[in-house]
Chain A
Amino acid sequence: MADTVLAVRGLRKAFGALVVSDDVALEVRTGECHALIGPNGAGKTTLLAQLAGEVAPDAGTIRFGDRDVTRLGPDARARLGIARSFQITTIVADFTAEDNVALAVQARAATSMRFWRSAARDAALRDPARAALVRVGLGPRANTRASDLAHGEQRLLELAIALAQEPAVLLLDEPMAGLGHDESRAMIALLREIKPAVAMLLIEHDMQAVAELADRVTVLVAGHAIASGSYETIRTDPRVREAYLGDDG
């Protein structure tokens, strides 16, 4: 039985009268992909932001292994091994693709208060960065400015950055968004390849991707987890069909 790496209990968050997380519980285990689906505005991204530490929950606990991380900030959680990708790309636009990944590599070191050596010529940063780029198929684009990369390439760069962090938990916010068919196939294949080594939480609208990747699916509607189970169980659950899948026909 795989270990539970990330466990969420009774998570609650409201912005004024709008409840975006309503008593949410979920677990993510190493080697498993837990997909989070739900209609737009269901609170998926806000839930992920709470897991990453960017948004503080009103109530509930988030445990990483044996540790309660509910009150830790995003940088402290990242250092423990919780990595996230962003739906809206937040790569450093004026850095090259390799610089962006090299930043993730140097983030693994205890400190970056190193003032003398040039980071651009530091093999301890550049070699792992290049390896991560090659792994996602961006090897030839290493020296391209991040802002000059095509949309699909930027999504891959997001993933390369997350990989370079060598996280225990990977929180993915719609990695397929805006990708063409072939690009989606490639992304799914990559995520499958990565899956055994991490605990993956995946927010995704692409049901094909969810079907292929998810070991477990939780359906979020108006901040509430209305159902949780295998993709097959979820697909046939009448509540889910009514609340979500039914809407899409």
Chain B
Amino acid sequence: MTLALLIALPPLAAVLDQPFWVNTVTRILILALAAVSLDLIVGYGGLVSFGHAAYFAVGGYTIAVLAQHGIDAALIAWPAAVVAAAVLAAIVGTLSLRTTGIFFIMITLAFAQMVFFTLVAVKAWGGNDGLPLDARSVLPLVNLRDPNALYFVCLGLLLAFVALAAQLVESRFGMVLRGARSSERRMLALGFPTFRYKLVAFVVAGAGAGLAGALWAEYARFVSTDMASWTRSGEFLVMVILGGLGSLVGAIYGAAVLLGLESFLAGFTEHWMLLLGAILLVVVLFAKRGLYGWLAGANDG
């Protein structure tokens, strides 16, 4: 249902003469990709990373910096963004995954802050002013300057990542990851070196966020340090929790609802964050499995 609606959106928006719909939903799809990648480690691995914006930013800056140097082939720039984010995740994961609980949250946050201040400091990349892109990258056969084309590329990549993540969590690898979330001691006693499994999941999640960041750079034709801010990391977590931990698809609803509420509530009051907080509280208290759990439950009955 949702998917049919998403595919029908661009022609629908054209007919109804509401072209900004496509832009709004493109933004949702991109942030949803980052949220889904975060759900992979938070929802299935129990690894509450409070620094997911760092990978998002590294993905985006990779595109902008490559463009600055004249490299605008998407087939080179996008994989480069994914690899750069994955490498950062491998480094952060190697150091942070030795800790658990609050220490893990703090270390992932600390690394993200380091990325943030590095981006602020590098004047060649615009520092606080950010870095604009002259044009979107070039993809063979697809003209990304067309908003509808970019929309479908984002939708396709989001669906591909969800499919990949869904496969991962159902595989042997996923069994170990999910087992370690609820009983790490048992996993070790069975003979699983759990650290490696968590690290692989952490890197895949970082790569997903890097891809989202790359798409964001293409969409906005601008990258800035905001992409790496800790409030951005918090937003990704809110999307995951709102949508329902450990459901993958839920994170998409979470992103849609968060962005929807943001523009809707902001129309009433500048203190919309206050209302959002109340809504989040209600969801966490009364729908423990998030929006996805609530929707799935309704469908079952």
Contacts and interface: CB of A to CB of B under 8 A. Distances in A.
Chains A and B come from one and the same complex: yes
Nearest to A77: B191
B191 A75 contact: yes
A132 interface: no
Contact of A78 (B175, B183, B189, B200): B189
Contacts of B176: 103, 106, 112
B192 A73 contact: no
Contacts of B190: 75, 78, 103-104, 107, 161, 165
Contacts of A114: 171-173
B178 A92 contact: yes
Interface in A114-158: 114-120, 122, 125
B179 A95 contact: yes
B173 A83 contact: no
Contacts of A83: 189
Contacts of A194: none
A117 B183 contact: no
Interface residues of B, number: 26
A61 to B, nearest CB: 21
A236 interface: no
B239 to A, nearest CB: 23
Interface of A: 52, 54, 73-76, 78-79, 83-84, 86, 90-95, 99, 102-104, 106-109, 112-120, 122, 125, 161, 165
Given A106-B172, A119-B174, A122-B172, A92 B183 contact: yes
A170 to B, nearest CB: 12
Contacts of A75: 187-194
B172 A92 contact: no
25 contacts: A52-B189, A54-B188, A54-B189, A76-B193, A78-B190, A79-B191, A86-B185, A90-B183, A93-B183, A95-B182, A99-B175, A103-B176, A103-B190, A104-B190, A106-B172, A106-B175, A112-B172, A112-B192, A113-B173, A113-B200, A114-B172, A115-B168, A116-B171, A119-B175, A120-B170
Given A113-B200, A114-B173, A116-B167, A74 B183 contact: no
A107 B191 contact: yes
B186 interface: yes
B173 A90 contact: no
Given A91-B186, A103-B179, A116-B167, 9 more contacts: A75-B189, A75-B192, A86-B186, A93-B183, A99-B175, A112-B172, A115-B168, A115-B171, A119-B170
Interface in B169-222: 170-176, 178-179, 182-183, 185-194, 196-197, 200
A119 B170 CA distance: 6
A114 B192 CA distance: 13
Contact of B188 (A74, A94, A95, A116): A74
Given A114-B172, A119-B172, A54 B183 contact: no
A119 B171 contact: yes
Contacts of B170: 118-120
A77 to B, nearest CB: 8
Contacts of B175: 99, 102-103, 106, 112, 119
B173 A54 contact: no
Nearest to B196: A113
Contacts of A161: 190
Interface in B124-183: 167-168, 170-176, 178-179, 182-183
Interface in B41-100: none
Nearest to A124: B172
Nearest to A80: B191
